[in-house]
Amino acid sequence: MTQRQLLQVLEEYLKGRMHFVQTMSELASRGQNMKMLKNANVMALLQPLMLDVDPSVQQIATQALGRLVGHSEEMAKELVQGEVLPQIVNSLPKHNNYYKKAATLVLRSVAKHSATLAKAVVDCGTLDSLMICLDEFDPGVKESAIWVLCHVARHNEDLAQAVVDAGAVPFLVLSMQEPEIALRRVAVSALSDISKHSMELAHIVAETGTIAILAQMILNPDTKLKRQVFSVLSQIGKHSVDLAELVVEAEVFPTVFICLQDPDEVVRKNVAILVCEIAKHTSELSQLIVNAGALPALVDFIGENEGSVRLPAVMALGYIAAHAETLATAVIMSLGIPQLTQVLSNEAEENYVRAATAWSLGQIGGHSSEHAVAVAGENVLPKLLQIYTSPDSSDDFQNKAKNALKNILQKCVHLPALEPLLRDSPQNILKHVVIQYSKVLPHDSMARRTFVKSGALQRIQEIKTAPGSELLETHKHDQELLS
Amino acid sequence: MGHNMADVVRLRSRPCVSGQKYIERRRQEEQDRRKDILAAITIQTWLRGLRVRAYMRYLHDAATTIQRHWRGFFQRKSFHVLLRNALHTRNMEFYNCKAFNIQKIWRGYYVRKYVHNYYARKIYLETLMVANQITRIQLKEIVGSKACEWDRRFRESDEQRMDRLACRTHYLVSTRQIPGIYNSPFLKEPMDMERRLIEARPRINAERFLISARNSTRDWTEMSYQKPCSIPHIRAKKPQGPFLEQSQIWRHRLKPLEPTLRVATSFTSAEEAALEQKREEWRTRVIDDAFLPFANHRKNKKYEPLLQTSCAFGSIDYGTHHFRDTDTTKNISKKPFKTITRTIPLFEKFGKMYC
C-alpha cells in the first residue's frame, strides 16, 4: 500500500470518528434521547475517544460525554468508576481553551448530581487544575471552571471547605469585578454556594471585602446577576449577628427596597429573604431596618405578590414585631395587619404561607392589650379559630394557629372581640377566653351590662364543663361576680 | 424610892412633911405606880415612835434628797443623749423625706427619659409614619423610572425576537403574484409582520456568532463547530449538480485565514529589511572610521596635517596658554596647601618602574 492510500484510509477513519462524536454531541444535548443512548452503551464508546490523538475529536467527545452525564446520575457513576476522571483532570492544564471548556463541562455534570460524586471529582485533584484554569485570560474558560466549583461547593460543608482551602475565594472575588456578565454571575453564585453552609465559610467570604463589591452590584440591570447577589448577601447575613451587621454596614438598605418591585419574581423573593434573615437576629438590627423604611416596602410587597413569594416578607414582619413592642406598634401603624389578614383568608394553595402569617399575627398581638386589640380588630381571631378547628389544616399549621391565638388572647381585654370566640371554640381556647372575661368583668360595670345583654352570659352558663377543671372554676368565679 | 440617908436628911429638913401624909402619899404612889408606869410607857412609846419616825422621816428625806439629786443628774445626763438621738432621728427623717423627694423625682425622670420615654416613642412612631410615606413616594418614583426602563428593555427584547423570527421565516414575504399570509386582501393594510419580513436581511455568520456569544447563557463549548440553521429551499429550480458535503463546506468557510508567506509579507519588506540591517549595523559598530582596504594602502592614506600648520601663524599672547592662569582671589587661604601626610614613595613608582 502506498503512502497516499494509507493517508486516505487514515483520513476516512478520522472523518468517521469526527462524524460519530459530533452526532453524539448533538443528540446528547436533547433530554429525550438519553434512554436510547444509554441502551446503546454510547458511554463506553466515547470514553476511549476522549484520549484520542486528534485534538478536535478529543474535545467533541469530551463535550458529548459531558452532556450525556449531565442528564443522568447513573452515567455519572459509570464515568467515575471508569477512572477516566483523573486523566481528564491531569490533561486539563495542557490543552487549548476549547478542550478546557469541554473538560470542565464533564466535571461539572458529574459533580452536580450528588455529594458522593462531587467528592469523587474533588479526590481526583480537580481543584488544583481548576486553579490553573482560573489563571487563564479567556473568560469562557474561567466561567466554566467557576461553574464546576459552584456545583462542587453546593452539596455540603466539607466540599465547600475543600474549595476554599484550594484558594478559590480571591479568584472569585476578582472574577466578580470582570466586565463579562456571565463570569460575574457564575462567580457570585459560587460565593453564594460556599457561604451558605457555615459561619466560618461565610466569614472567609465576607472578610475579603466582598460585601462592598456586592453592594455596588445591587443596581446592576442584569436580572440573573441580581438574583445571585441577593442570594449571597442573605446567605452571609443569616449565620450570625456580626455578619448581619457587616451586611447592613455596607449600606445596602434603602436601595434594596427598590428591587422589591423588580419585574423578576426570583429577585423579589431573594430580596425578601435577605430582609428576613437580617431582621431575625436582634432588635437593634430590626430597628435599623425599620428606620431605613422597610415597613412600607414589605407591606406593599405582601399586597402585590402572590403565593410563596410572600413567605419571607411575612416572616420578616413577624420577626420585626417579635423583638420589641415599639416595633410591633410600628408594624401595626404601617397597616401591616390588614395585609396579613388578607393573606390569611385569600391564600388558596400554600398552607405554609398562611401558617407563617398566623405566627406573625401572634407575635404582633402578644405584646400588650393595645396590640391585641389592634390585631383582633380585623376579625382575625375567628379566622384563627377556624383554622385551628378545621380538620384539613396540617399539624404545623394548627400548632401555629393555636399558639397565635393563645398569645393574643392572653393580652386581649376587648370584650366584643372575644365574644365570637365563645361560640365554637374547643376547651383549651375557651378557658383562656373565660379567664379574660373574669379579668375584665370585676372592674367594669358597663362591660357587665353588655355581657349580660349580648347573651354571652347565657352562653357561659350553657358551657358543659368537666368537674374540677379550671374552666369550671373560672366559670364559678364569673357567676359569683354577676350575682 | 430608895431609902437613903440623904433622903432621910432631906425629909427631916423639910418643914411641912408629916409622917402620915408621907406614908399615904407613898401608898398612893405605890398604887399609882402601875398606872404611872403604863402612862410612862405609853408616853415613852409615843415619844420613841415620834423620835424614830422623825428619824425615819429624816432618813427618808435624806434619801429622797439624794435620790432626787441623783435622778435629776442622771436623767439630765441621759436626757442629753435622748435629746441628741431625738434630734438625730428628726434630722434623719427630715433628710429622708427630702432624699425620698429627690429620688422620686430622679427615678421618675430617669425612667421617663431613658427606660420608657413615652413622648420619644410617640414622636418616633409619628416620624416613622412620615418617613414611611416619604419612602413610599420615593420608591414609587424610582420604580416608576425603572419601570419605564424595564418596559423598554422588555419591548426591545420582544422586538428583537420578532425580528429574528422574521429573519428565519423571510420566505413568507408576499410577492406580486401571491400575497403572503400576513397580507390578507380582506385587511386594509398588511400586518406588522409583513413589514418586518420585507425589512429582514440575511445575517452573516460572524454576526450570528456574536449574537449567540452575547446571549451567553448557552454553553461556550457550543461555539466551536456550529451546525448551520437550515436555509429553506426556494421551490423554483432543482439544485444543480453534486455539491460538496455541508460539513465540509462549513469547515472550509470557518477555517481561519492562513495566508502564505508571499501574501503575508508586505510590499516594502525588502526596503524595511535593508533599513533594519543598516540600523543594526550602526548600533553594533564600535569604530566609526571607515576601514579602508589594504590593497591601495599607501594611496589611500589620509593626509594628516601638522598641528603647527593647522593653527594660526605666530605665537600666542604671552601668559594666556603657556603659563597656568592663577587667580588668587578665589583661594581659600593665601598660603598653598601643605600635605599633611607624606606621600607613599612606593606608589610614586607606579607605572614608572618595571616591578
Cβ atoms A454, A419 nearer than 8 A? yes
* C-alpha grid cell, residue B56: 425615819
* Range with the poorest average pLDDT among A112-121, A419-428, B64-73: A419-428
Query: Nearest Cβ partner of A295 from B121, B132, B221?
Result: B132
Q: From CA B105, how far away is CA A41, in angstroms rounded?
A: 91
Same fold, A15-166 and A253-412: yes
Among A26, A222, A334, the strongest candidate for a mutation testing the B interface, having the largest count of B CBs within 10 A, is A334
CATH pick for A15-166 out of 2.60.130.10, 1.25.10.10, 3.20.20.60, 2.40.50.140: 1.25.10.10
Handedness of CA A163, A167, A172, A175 (dihedral sign): negative
Task: Please give the average per-residue pLDDT across A201-209, as a whole number.
Answer: 86
pLDDT value of residue A92: 79
User: In chain A, what is the straight-line distance between the N-terminal and C-terminal CA atoms, in Å?
Assistant: 124
**Cβ-defined contact of A181 to B216 (cutoff 8 Å):** yes
pLDDT band at A464 (very low <50, low <70, confident <90, very high): low
CA distances for B224 relative to A58, A138, A181, B227, angstroms: 13, 14, 21, 10
| Residue B165 DSSP class | H
| Residue B111 DSSP class | I
Task: Please give the average per-residue pLDDT across A59-87, as a whole number.
Answer: 83
Nearest CA in chain B to A103: B221
pLDDT tens-digit readout, B220-273: 444 444 444 555 555 556 667 777 887 888 888 888 888 899 888 899 999 999
**Cβ-defined contact of A257 to B135 (cutoff 8 Å):** yes
pLDDT value of residue B217: 45
**Cβ-defined contact of B149 to A221 (cutoff 8 Å):** yes
Query: Nearest Cβ partner of B142 from A101, A258, A333?
Result: A258
Q: How far is A454 from chain B (nearest CA, A)?
A: 36
Q: From CA B226, how far away is CA B216, in angstroms rounded?
A: 15
CATH of domain A253-412: 1.25.10.10
pLDDT at B42 over 90: no
Q: From CA B116, how far away is CA B108, in angstroms rounded?
A: 10
Nearest CA in chain B to A334: B129
pLDDT value of residue B227: 47
pLDDT band at B100 (very low <50, low <70, confident <90, very high): very high
pLDDT tens-digit readout, A162-198: 888 888 888 888 888 888 888 899 999 999 999 988 8
The top-scoring range by mean pLDDT among A459-463, B147-151, B287-291 is B147-151
pLDDT value of residue B225: 47
Identify all chain A residues contacting B221, using CB atoms and an 8 Å cutoff: 63, 66, 98, 101-102, 105, 144
User: In chain B, what is the straight-line distance between the N-terminal and C-terminal CA atoms, in Å?
Assistant: 184
Is B225 part of the contact surface with chain A (CB cutoff 8 Å)?
A: yes
Nearest CA in chain B to A102: B221
As a whole number, the mean pLDDT across chain A is 84
Q: How far is B284 from chain A (nearest CA, A)?
A: 39
pLDDT tens-digit readout, B287-323: 887 776 677 777 767 777 777 676 666 666 666 655 6
As a whole number, the mean pLDDT across chain B is 80
Is B149 part of the contact surface with chain A (CB cutoff 8 Å)?
A: yes
**Cβ-defined contact of B221 to A297 (cutoff 8 Å):** no
Helix (H, G, I), strand (E, B) or coil at B100: helix
**Cβ-defined contact of A101 to B217 (cutoff 8 Å):** no
Share above pLDDT 70 across residues of chain B, in percent, rounded to a whole number: 81
Number of other residues whose CB lies within 10 A of the CB of residue B180: 18
Q: How far is A348 from chain B (nearest CA, A)?
A: 29
pLDDT value of residue B216: 46
pLDDT value of residue B219: 46
Q: Please give the model's pTM, rounded to 2 decimal places.
A: 0.66
Domain boundaries, chain A: 15-166, 253-412, 415-483
Task: Please give the average per-residue pLDDT across A5-18, as a whole number.
Answer: 90
ipTM confidence score: 0.77
**Cβ-defined contact of B220 to A257 (cutoff 8 Å):** no
Is A182 part of the contact surface with chain B (CB cutoff 8 Å)?
A: yes
Query: Nearest Cβ partner of B128 from A143, A144, A290?
Result: A290
- Work out how many CB contacts closer than 8 A connect A with B: 74
**How large is the angle between the packed helices B118-168 and A283-291, nearest 10 degrees?**
70
Cβ atoms A218, A226 nearer than 8 A? yes
Is B132 part of the contact surface with chain A (CB cutoff 8 Å)?
A: yes
**Cβ-defined contact of B135 to A297 (cutoff 8 Å):** yes
> Where are any strands of DSSP class E within chain B?
none
pLDDT value of residue A349: 64
Query: Nearest Cβ partner of B221 from A102, A182, A257?
Result: A102
Q: Note the helical H segments in B111-245.
A: 118-168, 192-199, 205-214
Is B63 part of the contact surface with chain A (CB cutoff 8 Å)?
A: no
pLDDT tens-digit readout, A19-62: 988 888 888 888 787 778 777 888 888 888 887 788 888 888 88
- Cell 467557576: give the residue: A146
* Range with the poorest average pLDDT among A5-19, A406-420, B9-23, B182-196: B9-23
